[in-house]
Amino acid sequence: MRGERGTVRFWFSVVLGLLLLTPLGTAARADDSLESMAQDPNQWVMPGRDYSLTRYSPLKQINTDNAKDLKVAWTMSTGALRGHEGQPLVIGDMLYFESAYPNFVYAVNLSDPGRIVWKFVPHQDSFAPSVACCDVVNRGPAYGDGKLIVNTLDGHVYALDAKDGHVVWAAQNAEPKMGQTMTNAPLVVRDKVIVGVSGGEYGVRGYVTAYDLSSGKRVWRAYSEGPDSDLLFDPEKTIDGATQKPVGRNSSTKTWRGDAWKLGGGTTWGWYSYDPKLNLFYYGSGNPGTWNPSQRPGDNKWSMTIFARDPDTGQARWVYQMTPHDGWDYDGINEMVLADLDVNGTSTPTLVHFDRNGFAYVVNRENGKLVAAHKYDPTVNWATEVNLETGRPQVNPAYMTKQDVNVKGICPSAQGDKDQQPVSFDLDTKLFYAPLNHLCMDYQGFAVKYKAGFPFVGAIVNMFPAEGGNRGRFIAFDPVSGQAKWEIKDTFQDWGGALTTAGGLAFYGTLDGWFRAVDKKTGNVLYQFHCPSGIIGNPITFMHNGKQYVAILSGVGGWSAIGLAEGLAEPTAGLGAVGLTASLKDYTSLGGTLLVFSL
């Protein structure tokens, strides 16, 4: 056992021992920081395991030699049918997870997994599912100071006592009647809970909000578009990463026609990371409203943007817009993984982001300066490159969409070459392991008028597999060189996240339900198990009583499987997704299950 825990400092092993002796596996003391807790590989205390969102574990009891011997240790129904895009947390000897809508929250003692210690059932606005554009998903809870923090689809944030599940405080962060919902996982930084909002397809103006961890009182809110005061921008100090100059006054409003920024989209439903040394957190904003670019001339700042903000005040340190004047729905919400990479022989503090638009961006996370940008799918054709001097994509005019014109053969599709499914950064190989889409589309914009609570899309989209016919890929990728070391081609989109471990393994799941352990050096599949439903969740690993486990939420849905989730048949329905996966029903069905594997 000492060999398995050799990476853990002695003092932290003592803390863990105390945790396991605490009744009901009560989490760490209030004065134990999340950053310290995340150093213990036996737990999984944040959505991405650590603040950097690496989704890498030093555990190696399960490895390339014995992965073939994996088996299901235990399972549990989530009680919900729709898409499960999150992951459990493990705090001490307790496992916590949240289902898709109606957002049941469970606490399970790992020493007695057949018994539910507590279950939280939130009372929700029943209108919320009708304005959830891409299924009623949830990306999991967060933890801090003895509290489990959960978002619900109808826009509430709850702090639950981790011991017994009672509500410590609740806050309303979104209003479904305005098309606002919540699907993202919270970020806890010291005494703040930071959350986002969904609803870009309903004319929602995106924002992030910080609440006090102890009381639930709102501390600050920062919008994606609008006046500098709403954005929490200092025009002379907030840096435009593309130019390395201050953004200047009215950097957002002057890039929209009239007051179109009020319906500007730029919602914030992805994953958030945090650098404690810089005291900055990072996230991306989504597509502008509408999907018809002809109705909103200009760069439409700051949709499609990477933000770096001070978590204490919300003030923006720098911003970098990836897809100015988006005409393809290439949301910029995908995770920002923090990694110190070797760039031209120098270790550089970077942020790596696999964007929907098909480019993997390497950005200096101190100032937002673009270091590298490479296509991670060779079929990308909407732009030829990203100019490292200007930071802007070189758009191919043949694939720029416009009103009343059906532009054909655009790659990638609106689902992107990667959507919300998170990558893993492996600390051993220094490679990124990425579950991907491999799709193209036809796209026609049309004029649309805004009405609160109604779709504000303005495009007809038809999606289809890219070259080769496969709709999914799983790759090992070097974002500095732009080289893929190997790939696995999958029939459907690989919509669930990745996990890598010191045991030489990468784990991921497929949309049709296969959960796999892969040799991270070669891409050889060493183990696979067909789960009760398709996988759009993210695997985690932990140690309990000297034994390593791997857990995954099975439960097909999300935008990738919206036709199956909603019972839709028209090919262009579901924002263009239904025809793409019409045959998925032949391979899997709805239903949420937590599966836990061990040797």
Amino acid at 3: G
Fold of 10-598: Methanol Dehydrogenase; Chain A (2.140.10)
The number of CA neighbours under 13 Å toward the Cβ of 39 is 13
Give the chain's radius of gyration (CA, Å).
22
Dmax (CA) for the chain in angstroms is 66
Contact between 537 and 87 (Cβ < 8 Å): yes
Residue 28 confidence (pLDDT)? 43
Amino acid at 195: V
In Å, how far are 139, 158, 193 from 169, measured between CA atoms?
A: 20, 6, 12
Contact between 599 and 548 (Cβ < 8 Å): yes
Query: Which neighbouring-strand residues pair with 508?
Result: 498, 516
Residue 32 confidence (pLDDT)? 57
Contact between 88 and 544 (Cβ < 8 Å): no
Confidence (pTM): 0.94
Amino acid at 482: G
Q: Which is catalytic among the residues 40, 240, 326, 329?
A: 329
Round to the nearest angstrom and report the end-to-end CA distance of the chain.
Answer: 15
Residues whose CB falls within 8 Å of the CB of residue 398, separated by 6 or more in sequence, listed in order: 407
Residue 508 confidence (pLDDT)? 98
Residues of the chain with pLDDT under 70: 1-32
Query: Which neighbouring-strand residues pair with 135?
Result: 133
Residue 33 confidence (pLDDT)? 87
**For residue 224, what are its two tokens?**
């994606």
Parallel, antiparallel, or unpaired for β 483-490 and 498-501? unpaired
- Residue 32 is among the residues annotated as catalytic for this protein: no
User: What one-character-per-residue DSSP string does 296-320 give?
Assistant: S-S--TTSSEEEEE-TTT--EEEEE
Q: Which residue has the tokens 């890039």?
A: 255
Helix, strand, coil: what percent of the chain each, to 5? Answer: 10, 35, 55
